[in-house]
Amino acid sequence: MSKLKLGVLISGRGSNLQALIDACAAPDFPAEIALVLSNKADAFGLERAAKAGIATAVVSHRDYPGDKPAFEAAMNATLRDSGVELVCLAGFMRLLSPWFVGQWHNALINIHPSLLPSFKGLDTHQRALDTGVRFHGCTVHYVRPEMDEGPIIAQAAVPVLPGDDAHRLADRVLDSEHRLYPHAVRLIAEGRARVDGDLVRIEGPVPELAAVVNPPL
């Protein structure tokens, strides 16, 4: 069976990209990275991709001053030319227009460092601490034109611990991101994650999970 071809969009160090690279290196993983695209030529993630023998491209937003449609059209053409079937945002720090999102409807996913729909936007870890929640985490979802909206594919819950600050909590959430993103891609590539309106239905057997209490009983 042919593998799902991924295009990964980055702007920086690419730690979630590395998690996808590592997952795709397994012979039984049902997806492969066809292209890593960055809007910044100095993004460290490009080095990660090159080291893994993955094709890279740079489409700089600075080459299209004041012309976001042209910038996004160039990105779209580059992804299409590489045969990309699913676009994965991995620290891509540009807001995408409804046009671009529409070009990749139900074929564009993102990982966000919170348990959506809570804490959309930035500074999620400090906001979680300020609110006093006992669980934080991360979410992989299909992208919609509204920021941090879209059908949820998978989530990982991370307990908030006594003494946590934003950096400590962020590190633990990031560890979960690195496990969750490849898991979500596998669900999509295997055809087990199916969009049904505003929800994602997971096909096949799903083990029942026990409740987790924080602070512990």
For the question of residue 141 being annotated catalytic, the response is no
Q: What is the CATH number of domain 1-104?
A: 3.40.50.170
Residue 14 marked in a binding site: yes
Q: Per the annotation, does 96 bind a ligand?
A: yes
Look at the domain 112-138+156-205 and name its fold. Rossmann fold (3.40.50)
- pLDDT recorded at residue 152: 98
> Measured between alpha carbons, how far is 35 from 180 in angstroms, rounded to an integer?
21
Residue 192 CB coordination number (10 Å): 16
- What is the pTM for the complete model shown? 0.97
Sheet holding 86-89, edge to edge: 56-58, 31-38, 4-10, 86-89, 108-112, 135-142, 152-159
Q: Is 94 annotated as ligand-binding? A: yes
> Is there a binding annotation on residue 95?
yes
pLDDT in tens, 66-124: 999 999 999 999 999 999 999 999 999 999 999 999 999 999 999 999 999 999 999 99
Is the Cα torsion angle 5, 7, 95, 137 positive or negative in sign?
Answer: positive
Question: Could you give the 3-state DSSP secondary structure of residue 40?
Answer: coil
Catalytic residue among 61, 112, 125, 136: 112
Domains 1-104 and 112-138+156-205 equal at CATH topology level: yes
Task: Give domain limits for the chain.
Answer: 1-104, 112-138+156-205
